[in-house]
């Protein structure tokens, strides 16, 4: 927004006096440092605006007044959120001597001051409220229906354009907020349908009984109709868990998901948990606080784990199951194949951790522990057959752990540290100092061959990986250490596997490369393989991700050519641009080659486009992006397989750009 426009809208000219100066200062602060309020000014922050408004409607639903929410994206990328709640109050607020609606829309944190006794999920992660959305919108229009009437007010960059006014009668109640994200603030103002859908779907599971209708008016569906999705779940997190496990191909070990719920009378903390066991070998706990995904866990997760271990241990001991099996059971063994969703609602959550997604409230762990224990104990008593399946699974986990230790020791012995030598398939570089060395993990022997020819052997090493690498999600731990490709990675990198106490902890003291670059074909299969490699690294070598050593290579998608002139393109836009430039807009005068695999490039092309540090683009994998990829991956797989393919194909969510 330019200075001149702001002057036109200044308080002096639109009839607002001295008392609105304070409000303006608040909104001004938001516009000066938007990232402080909504995280960033890119895709994430842009979508956060929608979440913020929807959260307010969800609060109305939690208070028991709202049942339907409609979210619309319009062709101009403006968004409206409409609910059938009580409607934001429109009367005079006696203390502030201002209209309540205007206060809610323009004063930071004003929304929550009205009724204290209900849960609020809004104002969660960044704690901002709808006034923040208002401040960051070039235009916003709110309509409220309540007390038999309909009211409206409009704003520009948060500044009211006229006093709240009546515009007619109404026998309904509710609130509609329609906003245009300010293009002078956001890097992009184009909404992503999938991102919004995935969050709205999640919200419908986390708040059962609330119907969320989503319309995207920008582009019709395949039938030429308005693109519409309805998100509604009667089963809530039980259904959510069933969907997540089914999408990941995990099969249930017990016929029915175990459901736990309760409210602590003293603290008003509400606990809702769905859990089950499946045939996989990993633990999947999805946790939420006030509808926010707490990827770093916290006291609610700790309380859950503690209760689970204690209840199963005491049950197994009592029945002499463990004694008979002659294995020592550890805490982790109780959670192999466990899938759970923990959703707690906490009146005043304290968020901690690097990404502020770790619950800190100490009282919550005891509350969750007690609630879970009660239900689990009763479940085991009443369902001996299911109890037996779970106990057998726990014993199997303990036995597998012993086998894994042996396999791990084998890897250890064969590793460089113990003088075992480098893998035969590794084409190493001559440079010795790790900071300057790069290791390319290349899919397939033939692409590996091209990479070997194309590389700078001074500092670039190549390790070809054959075919599909093991899916560590599905395989037992000792199989992982027995896998040749995985063992080669350990030895080539020069890292050791960790200690028996913490097998996944990595010793990086002798790490041989500070850039590890995953290079696969730019098609679905290639992305799938990259995902498998990344999943392995993320689960077993997360220290490498934390240190920022993991990258994904970006081979080009197209070669545009006319006579001697040629150019590479990494995106559809670049392709169009190069056709324009080289062919003068005539598409038939140029040849466009779509690279499906690395094998279609010769060594010098591969060097120019993908390996030469001067010209290549690498995407760095960060812990946040890897966690997010992990999360979005299982989450996105809603109704059909198609979105999964699209998602894997675009694989943009892994990483941030790093040139
Ligand atoms: C303040 C007080 C009340 C409701 C709301 C705000 C409210 C805010 C939003 C934002 C979107 N939809 C909303 N619906 C309601 C309580 C009103 C009362 O006591 O009647």
Q: Supply 584's token pair.
A: 């003068």
Q: How far is the CA of 277 from the centre of ligand 1 (A)?
A: 41
**pLDDT for the residue 110:** 59
Whole-number Å distance, alpha carbon 561 to ligand 1 midpoint, is 60
Distance CA 374, CA 372 (A): 6
Q: What is the pLDDT of residues 413-464, one digit of tens each?
A: 665 444 568 999 999 999 999 999 999 999 877 889 999 999 999 999 999 9
Residue of 54, 55, 56, 133 to mutate, ligand 1, most atoms within 8 A of C-beta: 56
Mean pLDDT value of segment 375-402 = 94
CA of 91 to the centre of ligand 1 (A): 12
**Catalytic member of 102, 521, 628, 630:** 521
Compute the distance from residue 87 Cα to the ligand 1 centre, in Å: 5
* 116 dihedral zone (left: phi>0; alpha: psi -120 to 50; beta): alpha
Q: What's the number of CA atoms in the CB half-sphere (13 Å) around residue 557?
A: 13
User: Is 90 exceeded by the pLDDT of residue 500?
Assistant: no
- Bigger pLDDT: 13 vs 290: 290
Report d(CA 179, CA 156) in Å as an integer: 10
56: Cβ below 6 Å to ligand 1? Answer: yes
* Structural domains in the chain, sorted by start: 3-231 (3.30.565.10), 237-396 (3.30.230.10), 416-555+595-623 (3.40.50.670)
Q: How far is the CA of 509 from the centre of ligand 1 (A)?
A: 57
Is the beta carbon of 111 within 6 A of some atom in ligand 1?
yes
Residue 159, pLDDT above cutoff 70: yes
Give the mean model confidence (pLDDT) for residues 320-339. Answer: 91
H or E element, residue 176:
strand 174-181
Chain-centroid distance of CA 72 in Å reads: 22
Q: What is the predicted pLDDT for the residue at 123?
A: 52
Q: Is the CB of 85 under 6 A from ligand 1?
A: yes
- Closest-lying ligand 1 atom to the alpha carbon of residue 174: 14
Ligand 1 pocket, residue 114 CB under 6 Å = yes
* Distance (Å) from CA 159 to ligand 1 centroid: 20
Quote the pLDDT of residue 645: 43
Task: Please state, as a whole number, how many other Cβ atoms lie within 10 Å of the Cβ of residue 72.
Answer: 18
- Minimum CA distance residue for ligand 1 atom 12: 57
What pLDDT digit, counting tens, does each position of 238-268 carry? 999 999 998 888 899 999 999 999 999 999 9
Indicate if 456 belongs to the active site. no
**Residues forming beta bridges with residue 211, ordered by sequence position:** 68
In the three-class reduction of DSSP (H, G, I as helix; E, B as strand; rest coil), residue 200 is classed as helix
Joined together, the tokens standing for residue 521 give 């074909």
Please identify, by atom number, the ligand 1 atom nearest to the C-alpha of residue 89. 17
- CB-based contacts of 659, cutoff 8 Å, min separation 6: 617, 618
62 CA to centre of ligand 1 in angstroms? 12
Q: What is the mean pLDDT of residues 354-361?
A: 91
Percent of the chain with pLDDT over 90: 64
Is the confidence at residue 10, as pLDDT, over 70?
no
* Residue 623: pLDDT band with limits 50, 70, 90: confident
Annotated catalytic, 296?
A: no
Q: What SS3 class is residue 94?
A: coil
pLDDT of residue 400 exceeding 90: no
Which residues, other chains included, contact 25 with Cβ-Cβ below 8 Å and sequence gap of 6+? none
Q: Is 76 a catalytic residue?
A: no
For the segment 110-149, what is each residue's pLDDT rounded down to a tens digit?
555 444 445 566 555 445 689 999 999 999 999 999 999 9
pLDDT interval class at 571 (50, 70, 90)? confident
Q: Is the CB of 83 under 6 A from ligand 1?
A: yes
CB 140 within 8 A of CB 52: no
Is residue 525 part of the annotated active site? The answer reads: yes
Q: Relative to the CA of 130, which ligand 1 atom is closest?
A: 10
Pocket test for ligand 1, best of 175, 176, 179, 210 (most atoms within 8 A of CB): 175
Confidence of residue 526 (pLDDT cuts 50, 70, 90): confident
pLDDT in tens, 35-60: 989 989 999 999 999 999 999 999 99
State residue 654's pLDDT score. Answer: 38
Q: What's the rounded mean pLDDT across residues 159-173?
A: 97
Our CA angle for 294, 497, 510, nearest 5°, is 110
In the set 443, 477, 628, 630, the catalytic residue is 443
Q: Identify the H or E element spanning 486.
A: helix 484-493
When pLDDT is cut at 50, 70 and 90, the band that residue 201 belongs to is: very high
Any ligand 1 atom below 6 A from CB of 175: yes
The mean pLDDT of the chain is 87
> Does any ligand 1 atom lie closer than 6 A to the CB of residue 115?
yes
Cα distance between residue 474 and residue 406, in whole Å: 20
What pLDDT band is residue 467 in, cutting at 50, 70 and 90? low
Nearest atom in ligand 1 to 53's CA:
11
Query: Is it the case that residue 648 has pLDDT exceeding 50?
Result: no
Ligand 1 centre to CA of 101 (Å) is: 9
- pLDDT given for residue 503 in this prediction: 62
Find the 654 Cα to ligand 1 centroid distance in Å. 38
Please check the confidence at residue 637 and state whether its pLDDT lies above 50: no
> How many angstroms separate the Cα of 25 from the Cα of each of 29, 38, 105, 158, 238?
6, 18, 14, 11, 46
Determine whether the shortest distance from the Cβ of 60 to ligand 1 is under 6 A. Answer: yes
Min mean pLDDT across 41-50, 80-89, 349-358 is at 349-358
Q: Is any atom of ligand 1 closer than 6 Å to the C-beta of 82?
A: no
Residue with CA closest to ligand 1 atom 20:
86
Give the confidence band of 646 by pLDDT, cuts at 50, 70, 90: very low
Between residues 470 and 185, the one the model is more confident about: 185
Residue 174 has pLDDT above 70, yes or no: yes
- Output the pTM of the full model: 0.76
- Asked whether the predicted pLDDT for residue 13 surpasses 50, the reply is no
- Per residue in 135-145, is it b (16+ CB within 10 Å) or e — as a string? bbbbbbbbbbb
Per-residue pLDDT, averaged over 75-83, amounts to 98
Task: Give the C-alpha separation, 493 to 506, whole Å.
Answer: 11
Residue 519 has what pLDDT? 95
Q: Residue 268 Cα, ligand 1 centroid: separation in angstroms?
A: 21
Name the more confident of 323 and 419: 323
Test site for ligand 1: of 96, 98, 114, 151, most ligand atoms within 8 A of the Cβ: 114
For residue range 581-612, what is the model confidence (pLDDT) as tens digits? 998 777 778 999 988 888 889 999 999 999 99
Mutation probe of ligand 1 site: the residue of 100, 115, 131, 143 with most atoms within 8 A of C-beta: 115
The answer, yes or no, to whether any atom of ligand 1 lies below 6 A from the CB of 88, is yes
Give the residue with greater pLDDT, 274 vs 523: 274
Q: Is the CB of 174 under 6 A from ligand 1?
A: no
């Amino acid at each position: 927004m330019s200075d001149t426009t702001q002057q036109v809208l200044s308080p002096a000219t639109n009839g607002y006096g001295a008392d609105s100066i304070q409000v303006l200062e608040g909104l001004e602060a938001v516009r000066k440092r938007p990232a402080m309020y909504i995280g960033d000014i890119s895709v994430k922050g842009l979508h956060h605006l929608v979440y913020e408004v929807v959260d307010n409607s969800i609060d109305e639903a939690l208070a028991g007044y709202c049942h339907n929410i409609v979210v619309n994206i319009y062709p101009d990328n403006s968004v409206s959120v409409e609910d059938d709640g009580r409607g934001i109050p429109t009367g005079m607020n006696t203390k502030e001597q201002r209209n309540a609606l205007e206060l809610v829309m323009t004063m930071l944190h004003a929304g929550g001051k009205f009724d204290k006794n209900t849960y609020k999920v809004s104002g969660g992660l960044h704690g901002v409220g709808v006034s923040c959305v208002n401040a960051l919108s070039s235009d916003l229009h709110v309509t409220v229906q309540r007390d038999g009437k309909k009211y409206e007010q409009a704003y520009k960059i948060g500044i009211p354009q006229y006093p709240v006014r009546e515009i007619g009668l109404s026998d309904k109640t509710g609130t509609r907020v329609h906003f245009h994200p300010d293009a002078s603030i956001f890097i992009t103002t184009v909404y992503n349908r999938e991102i919004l859908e995935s969050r709205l779907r999640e919200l419908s599971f986390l708040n059962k009984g609330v119907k969320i209708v989503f319309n995207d008016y920008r582009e019709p569906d395949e039938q030429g109709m308005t693109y519409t999705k309805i998100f509604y779940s009667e089963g809530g997190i039980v259904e959510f868990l069933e969907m997540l496990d089914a999408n990941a191909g995990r099969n249930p070990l017990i016929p029915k998901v175990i459901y736990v719920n309760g409210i602590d009378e003293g603290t008003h903390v509400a606990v809702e948990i769905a859990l089950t066991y499946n045939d996989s070998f990993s633990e999947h706990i999805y946790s939420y606080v006030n509808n926010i995904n707490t990827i770093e866990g916290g006291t609610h997760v700790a309380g859950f784990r503690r209760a689970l271990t204690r209840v199963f241990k005491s049950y197994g001991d009592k029945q002499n199951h463990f004694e008979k099996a002659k294995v020592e059971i550890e805490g982790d063994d109780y959670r192999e194949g466990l899938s759970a969703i923990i959703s707690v609602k906490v009146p005043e959550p304290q968020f901690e951790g690097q990404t502020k997604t770790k619950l800190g409230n100490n009282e919550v762990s005891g509350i969750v522990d007690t609630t879970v224990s009660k239900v689990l104990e009763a479940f085991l008593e009443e369902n001996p057959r299911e109890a037996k399946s779970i106990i057998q699974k726990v014993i199997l986990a303990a036995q597998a752990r012993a086998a894994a230790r042996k396999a791990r020791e084998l890897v250890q012995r064969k590793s460089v540290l113990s003088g075992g030598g480098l893998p035969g398939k590794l084409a190493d570089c001559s440079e010795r100092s790790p900071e300057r060395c790069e290791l390319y993990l290349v899919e397939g022997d033939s692409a590996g061959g091209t990479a070997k020819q194309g590389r700078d052997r001074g500092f670039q090493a190549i390790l070809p990986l054959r075919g599909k690498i093991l899916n560590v999600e599905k395989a037992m731990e000792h199989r992982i250490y027995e896998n040749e490709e995985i063992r080669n990675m350990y030895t080539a990198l020069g890292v050791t596997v960790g200690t028996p106490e913490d097998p996944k902890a990595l010793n990086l003291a002798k790490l041989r490369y500070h850039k590890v670059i995953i290079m696969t074909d730019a098609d679905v299969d290639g992305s799938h393989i990259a995902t498998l490699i990344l999943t392995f690294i993320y689960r077993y070598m997360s220290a490498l991700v934390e240190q920022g050593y993991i990258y994904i290579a970006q081979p080009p998608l197209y070669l545009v050519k006319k006579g001697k002139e040629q150019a590479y393109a990494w995106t559809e836009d670049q392709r169009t641009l190069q056709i324009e430039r080289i062919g003068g807009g005539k598409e038939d005068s140029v040849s466009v080659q779509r690279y499906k695999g690395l094998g279609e490039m010769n060594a010098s092309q591969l060097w120019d486009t993908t390996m030469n540090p001067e010209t290549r683009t690498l995407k760095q994998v960060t812990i946040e992006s890897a966690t997010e990829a992990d999360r979005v991956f299982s989450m996105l797989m809603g109704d059909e397989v198609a979105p999964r393919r699209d998602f894997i194909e675009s694989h943009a969510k892994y990483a941030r750009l790093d040139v």
